[in-house]
Amino acid sequence: MQHVYPAVFHPNANGSITIHFPDLPGTNSEGKNLANAMEMALASLEEWIEYLVDKKLDIPQASSIQDIKTSGDEYVTLIYANVKDARAVRRTICIPKWMDDKVSELRLSLSRITQDALAERFK
């Protein structure tokens, strides 16, 4: 799921930057500098969207960047997050017996191997 939300950045006297998303109450974060603040804003947005999806709550519509009010030296920028539903699902797969024997012998996680192989295929 792709999401773009406006974030308000508030520079602090000590050089850090406080961030909040007006459309997503409770998404306050802070970065040591601009680069770190951008990372923290992304993490905050992703975590909030994942929470809403997990709790089956509605994801609010993002405001237009022009509608966001700022004060003093605050500024607004858009933050893009591509949130993937990482919840585990149970699937049944078929493999040859000799592979199953080898997986058991080596004490491998068939689930981890499958996930890694699929992740590589999707690159």
Residue 87's H or E segment, with its range, is none
Q: What is the DSSP letter of 26?
A: T
Residue 17 confidence class, pLDDT cut points 50, 70, 90: very high
Would you say the C-alpha torsion 74, 18, 44, 31 has a positive or negative sign?
Answer: positive
Instruction: Tell me how far apart the alpha carbons of residues 120 and 14 are, in angstroms, rounded to a whole number.
Output: 43
The pTM assigned to this predicted structure is 0.71
Give the chain's domains with CATH numbers: 2-82 (3.30.160.250), 88-123 (no CATH)
Q: Is 59 helix (H, G, I), strand (E, B) or coil?
A: coil
User: Which of residues 89 and 73 earns the better pLDDT score?
Assistant: 73
Q: In the predicted model, is pLDDT for residue 86 greater than 90? A: no
Mean pLDDT of all residues belonging to the chain: 92
pLDDT computed for residue 21 by the predictor: 97
User: What local confidence, expressed as pLDDT, does residue 48 receive?
Assistant: 93
Q: State the chain's maximal CA–CA distance in angstroms.
A: 68
Tell me if residue 76 falls in helix, strand or coil: strand
